[in-house]
Chains A and B, each alone.
Chain A
């Protein structure tokens, strides 16, 4: 007793002996939720994953994560319509993260620095025929190649790229970017045969010993409107116009050009007409702006470049030098109705941009393939009714965007891989969404987004120079760091810091945290204060 301090009869002990975890009725658990950007991405990118790397300035690492799913970062960073940004929770704080601008920065860096995609896996001996070298076909070929399969792409046109080259004007998507990203795929060992239209898929498959085929021929045939046209009227198809321009044929459109249609192609062709010297370009659309299928940004750019819009109008007749328009109004269901009111409009040419259909004749001899409304029907694994024949991209309808096509190509590649192995394709697990109301937005300071430079409208009219510029490294880093990491831990130490019971154990960089359930009382402060909503409070298991 003598060696004990005054008035102490028991040894001094630590409160660590007192396991306060026994008080708990609820416990915190770390969760990984699906971020809204990843959820919205038609290509299935792990956007949050590559932003996480980019935040550290590890651009090559970020790019590597990106090309795990999408081989076209530089193309996407220009031509994607950015559903990720529309879904971004940051818009509730200030503005959405400029994901697309960062993607372009990474894609351009990769081209400039010559970053390489991972080498393909060991050869499997399987051969796959891909018909069409648009975004869907190339994406499928890329993923099949990485899985070790031998891929042969047949392209009808003299140059690869499909709509990347023949559909999207160069001022939106410079051809050097398209070429660079396609070259990266052929450099992996994918065989690309251009100028080789496949007219009969079944005989090619049997003759050349392919184990499976992916049909991604796109939708190349412009729809006709059956407009009564006089002999002198100049009526041009938008798809053919854009395609011909790419092969060096400048269409004589004249000074007064009318574009009929309200989709992205209509905007593309109207903006192209301006660049070809038209002084008065008018888009005629039968409904109103809010019902236009074209993306807002495209419409805004067209308007900025001087294109005029005629809403609620149809083209009734085309004659030499003039058009007759009919006014429409909308019925209760928003469908356009003719009013009988006619009006004349001077026009040197009329460009039809009324939508596109696929040419499906190559599938005629394949048994079981079903088509409807000009598109091929596929199951959720992208397989047609004919075993071993898959399809994707515009040929199957869907949303008809480049990003969607890339995603379908990737999904098809996974399905084809499983098919050739005799497995059922694996589907990604459904994770619950990281909704904005789960975040603690207090922790994020306002930080307005970095804007990409844009070519002044007046300087766009005489050339096909790229309209939208890229971000510099500093701006891209700034922008990447605006990501709030919705639903997934980004190691901010908040849970570790705010626990009154020191019941959060920090495991070190990249390893996140662990709850010490011996002491966690289940107060839930960490749940409430987690900036990104990556902790759930669940009833204590009995």
Chain B
């Protein structure tokens, strides 16, 4: 198993960010370009059109399946991902998969890992997965315990920034200004408030676990590299993947990847990795754009703009821009590409 992060495939040697590349050998392409990929989450699932979470789960688990040679157990919290993939008696999973309660998926994953250890099956690895509700809010106690005990689990949070399955209620990961069913766009401070919510990646880093990373479905190369890196390590690992939700974000289904990309390019969602509590790498911004471009594509921010498209709530937009600017400053997101190679 390689511990080296794969560099971005030099498509047309000078680079493309597309999934595959007919000009390089299959060992240099990513898991998603392989017609024999695991398809861990197969067709027929009931996710909405353009679901970022369905995409993210397949990306992560296919990469983990490739890294472990298919010896993988997935433990899944309650949430969209579980509901749309397993309406009784059907399942979309093509990986050993176990459903638990909303809040205890990290604990169940710890238990699976302990059981495998007792059985001497060090070859079988465990992935726990949950939405932001399951990971950031309801399951945070169990997750913190998993981290603190350094159990051998990669825990993945697919963050769509609210409780989408139950009707788009605010979660601890909902960004300021966003409209949800519980933070309506009314009153003097419409949408979710500033100064709330939590940065789960930083919380995980505070546990000083071996590996913490953030990623988006907008950069497959980065995401797969991080899953591979995580699977090459032992102990507690945490991966936080931003997965745009066309339903909850009130965005066009076709814009899912575009929104994920914009989240990274604006700096509003910093893509980083950390080992032992310290940041070891950041994905630099290729083409910096103001957060406005990201916000305008989403109905959950529609109240920030008037009917003519002008900014109606400049202080909110400025506040969100300030968050992006702080991320850029904090992690050094500008500058040359991290993997700039001589071509």
Q: Which of A161-184 contact B (CB under 8 A)?
A: none
A6 at the interface (CB under 8 A from B): no
A73 to B55, CA, bound (A): 46
Q: B42 contacts A443, CB within 8 Å?
A: no
Task: Kindly state the separation between the CA atoms of A528 and B220 in the bound complex, as whole angstroms.
Answer: 16
* Number of residue pairs A-B, CB distance < 8 angstroms: 159
Interface residue? A252 (CB, 8 A) = no
Known contacts A492-B11, A497-B220; is-contact A525 B50 (Cβ 8 Å): yes
In angstroms, Cα B47 to Cα A20, docked, is 10
**A285: CB under 8 A from chain B?**
no
What residues of B have a CB within 8 angstroms of the CB of A446 in the complex? Answer: 14
Contact of B91 with A493 in the complex, beta carbons under 8 Å: no
Please choose the segment from B129-137, B183-191, B256-264, B316-324 that sits at the chain A interface, where 4 or more of its residues have CB less than 8 A away.
B256-264
- Report if A498-B89 is in contact (Cβ < 8 Å); known contacts: A523-B254, A524-B253: no
Cβ of B32 and Cβ of A493 under 8 Å apart?
yes
Flag if B220 contacts A482 (CB, 8 Å): no
Identify A13's interface contact among B17, B18, B89, B261, CB under 8 A: B89
State which residues 394-424 of A face B: CB under 8 Å: none
CA distance A499 to B44 in the complex (A): 12
Given A16-B42, A521-B49, check contact A491 B22 (CB 8 Å).
yes
Stretch at the interface among A201-209, A258-266, A459-467, A500-508: A500-508
In contact, A442 and B261 (Cβ under 8 angstroms)? yes
Q: Give the docked Cα–Cα distance between A482 and B343 (Å).
A: 13
Given A13-B90, A15-B85, A497-B32: A523 in contact with B17 (beta carbons within 8 A) = no
- Complex Cα distance, B32 from A285, in Å, reads 61
Partner of B255, one of A56, A443, A501, A528: A528
A13-B91, A502-B43 known; A492 vs B13 contact (CB < 8 Å): no
- Within 8 Å by CB of A493, from B18, B50, B54, B90, lies B18
Q: A500-B51, A500-B52, A500-B58 are in contact. Are A14 and B44 (CB under 8 A)?
A: yes
Is the Cβ of A15 less than 8 Å from the Cβ of B15? no
- Contact string against A for B residues 15-50, beta-carbon threshold 8 Å, 1 for contact and 0 otherwise: 111111111000001101101000101111111011
In the assembled complex, the CB of A488 is this many whole angstroms from the nearest CB of chain B, namely: 13
- Bound CA span A490–B254, Å: 21
Count of residues in A whose CB is under 8 Å from the partner chain: 54
The answer to whether B18 touches A443, judged by C-beta atoms less than 8 angstroms apart, is yes
User: Which residues of the partner chain B approach A524 to less than 8 Å between Cβ atoms?
Assistant: 50, 252-254
Count, chain B residues at interface, CB 8 A: 50
A496 touches B33 (CB 8 A): yes
- B23 pairs with A15, CB closer than 8 A: no
Q: Which residues of the other chain, A, contact B252 by a CB distance below 8 angstroms? A: 524
Contact of A443 among B17, B22, B50, B52 (CB under 8 A): B17
Return A61 CB to nearest CB of chain B, in Å.
Answer: 14
Docked pose: A497 CA to B252 CA in angstroms: 19
What 0/1 pattern do residues 281 to 292 of B give for CB contact below 8 A with A? 000000000000
Interface 0/1 of A25-66, CB less than 8 Å to B: 000000000000000000000000000000110000000000
User: In the complex, what residues of A have CB within 8 A of residue B16's CB?
Assistant: 443-445, 492, 531
Say if the beta carbon of A519 comes within 8 Å of chain B: yes
Known pairs A497-B220, A500-B47, A525-B256; A445 contacts B20 (CB<8 A): no
When distances are taken between beta carbons in the complex, the residues of chain A under 8 Å from B45 are 15, 18, 20, 501
In the assembled complex, A516 has its CB within 8 A of some CB on chain B = yes
* Residue A370 lies at the interface, judged by CB distance under 8 Å to chain B: no
Q: In the bound complex, do residue A481 and residue B23 qualify as a contact, i.e. CB atoms below 8 Å apart? A: yes
Contacts of B46 in A (CB 8 A): 15, 18, 20
Q: Chain A: which residue is nearest B287 at the CB level?
A: A442
Beta-carbon contact of A498 and B44 below 8 Å: no
Cross-interface CB contact of B256 among A447, A501, A523, cutoff 8 Å = A523
Q: When the two chains form their complex, are residues B261 and A503 in contact, meaning their CB atoms are under 8 A apart? A: no
How distant is the Cα of A490 from the Cα of B19 in the complex, in angstroms?
12
User: Which of B44, B58, B253 touches A523 (beta carbons < 8 Å)?
Assistant: B253
In angstroms, how far is the closest chain B Cβ from the Cβ of A387?
Answer: 50
- Enumerate chain B residues within 8 angstroms of A499, measured Cβ to Cβ: 55
A458 contacts B by Cβ under 8 Å = no
Given contacts A498-B19, A524-B254, contact A482 B12 (CB under 8 A): yes
| A115–B43 alpha-carbon span in the complex (Å) | 49
Q: How far is the CA of A526 from the CA of B136 in the complex (A)?
A: 31
A14-B44, A523-B50, A525-B254 given as contacts; is B12 within 8 A of A481 (CB)?
yes
- Confirm or deny: B92 has a beta carbon within 8 angstroms of a beta carbon on chain A: yes
Q: Contact check, B23 vs A16: say whether CB atoms are below 8 A apart.
A: no
Residues of chain B with a CB closer than 8 A to A16's CB: 42-44
Chain A nearest CB from B266 CB (Å) reads 14
Q: Are A15 and B44 in contact (CB under 8 A)?
A: yes
Q: Which of B44, B50, B88, B343 contacts A519 (CB 8 A)?
A: B44
- A445 vs B252: C-alpha distance when bound (angstroms): 26
Q: Which residue of A lies closest to B12 (CB)?
A: A481
Instruction: Report whether B89 and A8 are in contact in the complex, using a CB–CB cutoff of 8 Å.
Output: yes
Residues in chain A near residue B89, CB distance under 8 A: 8, 10-13
Q: Which single residue of chain A is at the shortest CB-CB distance from B337? A: A445
A482, A503, A523 pick with most chain B CB within 10 angstroms = A523
- The answer to whether A55 and B14 have CB atoms under 8 Å apart is no
Report how far A55 CA is from B12 CA in the complex, Å.
Answer: 8
Whether A492 and B18, one on each chain, are in contact in the complex, defined by CB atoms closer than 8 angstroms, is yes
Q: B257 near A492 (CB under 8 angstroms)?
A: no
Chain A residues near B43 (CB-CB < 8 A): 15-16, 20, 501-503, 516, 518-519
Bound CA span A501–B54, Å: 8
On whether the beta carbons of B22 and A490 are closer than 8 Å, the reply is yes
A509 contacts the other chain (CB 8 A): yes
A529 lies within 8 A of chain B by Cβ = yes
How far apart are the CA atoms of A527 and B255 in the complex, in Å?
10
Q: With the chains together, A500 CA to B259 CA distance in Å?
A: 15
Residues on the B chain within 8 Å of A55, using CB:
12, 23
Q: How far is the CA of A56 from the CA of B51 in the complex (A)?
A: 35
How long is the Cα–Cα vector from A483 to B220 in the complex, in angstroms?
A: 23
Does A107 make an interface contact (CB < 8 A)? no
> Could you mark each residue 512-540 of chain A with 1 if its beta carbon is under 8 Å from any beta carbon of chain B, else 0?
00001011011111011101000001000
Q: Which residue of B lies closest to A531 (CB)?
A: B18
Cα of A16 to Cα of B43 in the assembled complex, Å: 6
Say yes or no: is A478 at the interface (Cβ < 8 Å to chain B). Answer: yes
Query: B85 — nearest CB in chain A belongs to which residue?
Result: A15
A19: interface (CB < 8 Å):
yes
On chain B, the residues within 8 Å of A19 by CB distance are 44
B193-217 toward A: CB 8 Å interface, digit per residue (1/0)?
A: 0000000000000000000000000
Contacting pair A23 B20 (CB below 8 A): no
For the complex with contacts A20-B44, A497-B32, 19 further pairs of A-B residues with Cβ separation under 8 Å are: A15-B42, A17-B44, A55-B12, A56-B22, A56-B23, A444-B16, A482-B12, A492-B19, A493-B32, A496-B32, A497-B20, A498-B55, A500-B51, A500-B54, A500-B55, A500-B58, A500-B256, A528-B255, A529-B258
Closest 3 interchain pairs by CB? A493-B20, A445-B15, A497-B19
Contacts A/B (CB < 8 Å), 12 sampled = A11-B89, A15-B91, A20-B43, A443-B16, A478-B13, A492-B22, A496-B33, A498-B19, A508-B35, A524-B50, A528-B257, A528-B258
